[in-house]
């Protein structure tokens, strides 16, 4: 079975198990800030940090001119608050200076051009850019976070030595078009609930028969499903 066929099976099972993603997390700027706040913390803590921050400073102009220590105080629950506060303030200032405080245009631009533009903003990496395109614009992209990076290598659908950007390129090619957002959300939930970094829950895994890692360590010895 080639990677595309295998990935289709995986994608269909993830969507069957976790459902189709149809949501939106706000404007491009809001999603950008929310993604920064989500790093190295739980969804709950990042959501609280975002709500507290945007209840006071909800535009690039307000954040660019806000005291950095005040930003840090509002987002403290999310961890790494000093680093995140500095990054948020710097990115907000750049967006204010370079784009007049409005990056909504990324949702009407060609997705590849929009991604390139977002990546040109200092402090915005590939995962953040793709999250903006997926969660704010509804683009058919698949952001690669630590869960997806780990899981897709365990499953054996991306090269073991691929870096994050190479994993993204492979997944954009092999994950069925129109399903990338749902697969992204499904893989994250799968990584948190079942395919954990340590002590994966093999007994609950609904992808075990198509998992290279499970076969490698002898957990699954049958044939892959077709």
Three-class secondary structure of residue 217 per DSSP: coil
Average pLDDT over residues 32-52: 95
DSSP state of 218: T
Q: Tell whether domain 28-136 is in CATH 3.40.50.1110.
A: no
Average pLDDT over residues 118-122: 95
What φ, ψ does residue 38 adopt, rounded to 5°? -80, -10
Which spans in the chain are helix H?
3-18, 28-37, 43-54, 60-65, 68-74, 81-99, 111-119, 126-131, 146-155, 164-174, 180-193, 212-216
Domain residue ranges in the chain: 3-20+144-216, 28-136
Q: What average pLDDT does the structure give for the chain?
A: 95
Euclidean distance between CA atoms 96 and 29, whole angstroms? 11
- The residue whose two tokens read 């060609």 is 110
Residues 212-226 pLDDT 10s: 999 999 998 776 555
Three-class secondary structure of residue 65 per DSSP: helix
Q: Looking at residue 87, what is its pLDDT? A: 96
CATH number of 3-20+144-216: 1.10.1670.10
């Amino acid at each position: 079975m080639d990677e595309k066929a295998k990935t289709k099976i995986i994608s269909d099972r993830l969507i069957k198990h976790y459902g189709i993603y149809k949501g939106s997390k706000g404007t491009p700027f809001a999603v950008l800030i929310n993604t920064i706040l989500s790093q190295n913390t739980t969804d709950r803590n990042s959501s609280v940090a975002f709500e507290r921050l945007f209840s006071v400073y909800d535009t690039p102009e307000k954040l660019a001119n806000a005291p950095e220590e005040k930003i840090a105080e509002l987002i403290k629950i999310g961890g790494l608050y000093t680093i995140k506060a500095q990054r948020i303030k710097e990115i907000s200032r750049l967006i204010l200076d370079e784009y007049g405080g409005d990056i909504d245009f990324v949702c009407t631009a060609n997705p590849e051009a929009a991604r390139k533009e977002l990546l040109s903003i200092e402090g915005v990496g590939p995962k953040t850019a793709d999250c903006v395109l997926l969660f704010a614009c509804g683009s058919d992209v698949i952001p690669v976070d630590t869960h997806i990076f780990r899981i897709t290598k365990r499953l054996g659908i991306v090269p073991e030595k691929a870096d994050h950007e190479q994993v993204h390129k492979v997944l954009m090619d092999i994950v069925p078009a129109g399903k990338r957002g749902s697969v992204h959300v499904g893989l994250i939930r799968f990584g948190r609930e079942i395919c954990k970094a340590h002590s994966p829950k093999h007994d609950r895994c609904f992808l075990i028969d198509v998992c290279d890692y499970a076969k490698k360590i002898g957990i699954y010895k049958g044939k892959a499903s077709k």
